């Protein structure tokens, strides 16, 4: 496949030579053949001319859920990867929350084979424990050998402190990345939203910040003792940012992420009992939201994720107490982040994080495989159901004002636009 991107403004904050320059980009058989002010190519080359076309390195999302195998009514691998591609993501890390759960090497091989022809590359996580039950470690080394980029019992905190210690020690031998979801279930109890003024006003059971922070303190103490690599996904409180910043100052190998929705909304959105806003971790206060944004800007928070979690209508359009957690977020991630941050920061956030998972970061230069995202950063619109590409429509961003439209990607010798 040969294509020519015409008059594309390149957004590459780490590349002074190309950053904000308008260039033609020739791609032949999936490889960047030439980058110049004006290219006139003849023959079997497809020209791509789009309104206010901007191009960056392909985007990366560290926390995406689909449904297949087991929950295809929520999302299939094929449509999930197409949604990711149309949303600008050339690489996604897939959470282990299917049925059966991926807790063996054969499960990882299945996911890789099921996604091998897609434009967006799927990188699979395996479970940390067998069936994510928290009783015994899964086949970590075998899954790593089969291609797993890390290990995670999705949204399930590990209650057994000794098992986390053993996991970190064992995975350290082969540079494995252990995930630990920050939530003390005994402190959280039957809470479903942030504990505070709003939960009291609405009569909903709350989850205090302490439930998250207590688990982080425990995990950091264990990491300091064992060594190894720890990732704390989707933090949500101001004190969590502070705790992780202190650990990094000590030189500990810890990373963390935050979900886009925790940067955009607070628990004040719950006043209408809309189950689209029932999330885990829950939406916190305005002071927490500001601390998370500050943590991104000062580098404490390593990367941002859509935390995309499709959920079928039967699990969402029910009473708030009974609704499942989660929101889709791939389609709206860029438009929401581009509202909060300037364009350079937004693109930096969307392109970082691969190294933590041992994934090679693409290069924006001649001779390299093309892994590019195509977008218009200026178009403003209201996010509505017509913009949803996922099989499920459980989006907490419906009705939100977005800034920036994604055209698609060029990746794996394919163009999706």
Continuous H helices in 311-398 = 313-316, 333-340, 343-351
Distances from the Cα of 88 to the Cαs of 200, 278, 406, in angstroms? 40, 26, 6
Give residue for tokens 């990711």. 84
- Given a contact cutoff of 8 angstroms between Cβ atoms, the answer to whether 82 and 117 are in contact is no
Per the annotation, the verdict on 307 as an active-site residue is: yes
Give the span between the Cα atoms of 72 and 99, in whole angstroms.
Answer: 10
Report which secondary-structure segment, H or E, holds 286: helix 286-297
Give the span between the Cα atoms of 365 and 369, in whole angstroms.
Answer: 9
- 358-390 burial: b if 16+ Cβ within 10 Å, else e: ebeebebeeeebbbbbbbebeeeeebeeebbbb
> What is the three-state SS of 108-148?
HHHHHHHCCCCCCEEEECECCEHHHCCCCECCHHHHHHHCC
Q: Which listed residue (307, 312, 342, 378) is catalytic?
A: 307
CB atoms within 10 A of CB 201: 11
Q: What would the two tokens of residue 225 be?
A: 């003792």
Give the span between the Cα atoms of 125 and 353, in whole angstroms.
Answer: 15
Closest CA to 258 of 197, 198, 182: 182
How long is the chain? 417
- Given a contact cutoff of 8 angstroms between Cβ atoms, the answer to whether 259 and 307 are in contact is yes
Contacts of 97 (CB under 8 A, 6+ apart): 65, 154, 155
- Given a contact cutoff of 8 angstroms between Cβ atoms, the answer to whether 108 and 124 are in contact is yes
Task: Return the active site residues.
Answer: 307
């Amino acid at each position: 496949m040969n294509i020519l991107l015409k008059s594309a403004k390149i957004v590459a904050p780490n590349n002074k030579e190309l950053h904000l320059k308008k260039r033609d980009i020739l791609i032949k058989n999936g490889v960047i053949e030439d980058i110049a002010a004006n290219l006139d190519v003849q023959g079997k080359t497809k020209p791509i001319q789009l309104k206010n076309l901007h191009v960056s390195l392909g985007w990366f999302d560290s926390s995406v859920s689909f449904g297949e195998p087991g929950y295809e009514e929520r999302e299939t691998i094929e449509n999930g990867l197409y949604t990711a591609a149309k949303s600008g993501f050339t690489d996604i890390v897939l959470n282990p929350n299917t049925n059966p759960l991926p807790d063996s090497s054969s499960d990882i091989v299945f996911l890789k084979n099921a996604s091998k022809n897609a434009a967006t590359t799927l990188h699979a996580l395996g479970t940390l424990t067998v069936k994510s039950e928290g009783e015994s470690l899964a086949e970590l080394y075998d899954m790593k050998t089969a291609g797993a980029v890390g290990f995670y019992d999705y949204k399930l905190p590990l209650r057994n402190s000794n098992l986390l210690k053993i996991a970190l020690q064992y995975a350290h031998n082969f540079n494995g990345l252990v995930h630990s979801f920050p939530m003390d279930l005994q402190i959280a109890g039957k809470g479903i939203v942030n504990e505070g003024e709003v939960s009291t006003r609405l009569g909903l059971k709350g989850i205090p910040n302490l439930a998250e922070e207590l688990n982080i303190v425990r995990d950091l103490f264990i990491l300091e003792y064992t060594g190894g690599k720890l990732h704390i996904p989707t933090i949500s409180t101001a004190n969590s940012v502070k705790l992780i910043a202190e650990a990094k100052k000590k030189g500990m190998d810890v990373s963390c992420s935050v979900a886009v929705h925790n940067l955009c909304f607070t628990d004040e959105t719950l006043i209408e009992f809309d189950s689209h806003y029932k999330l885990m971790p829950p939406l916190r206060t305005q002071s927490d939201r500001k601390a998370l944004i500050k943590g991104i800007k000062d580098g404490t928070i390593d990367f941002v994720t859509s935390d995309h979690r499709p959920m079928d209508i039967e699990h969402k359009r029910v009473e708030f107490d009974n609704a499942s957690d989660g929101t889709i977020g791939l389609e709206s991630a860029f438009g929401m982040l581009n509202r909060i941050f300037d364009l350079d920061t937004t693109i930096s956030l969307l392109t970082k994080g691969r190294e933590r998972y041992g994934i090679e970061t693409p290069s924006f230069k001649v001779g390299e495989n093309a892994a590019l995202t195509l977008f218009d950063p200026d178009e403003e619109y209201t996010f509505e159901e017509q913009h949803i590409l996922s099989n499920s429509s459980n989006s907490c961003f419906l009705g939100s004002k977005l800034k920036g439209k994604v055209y698609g990607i060029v990746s794996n010798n394919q163009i999706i636009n």
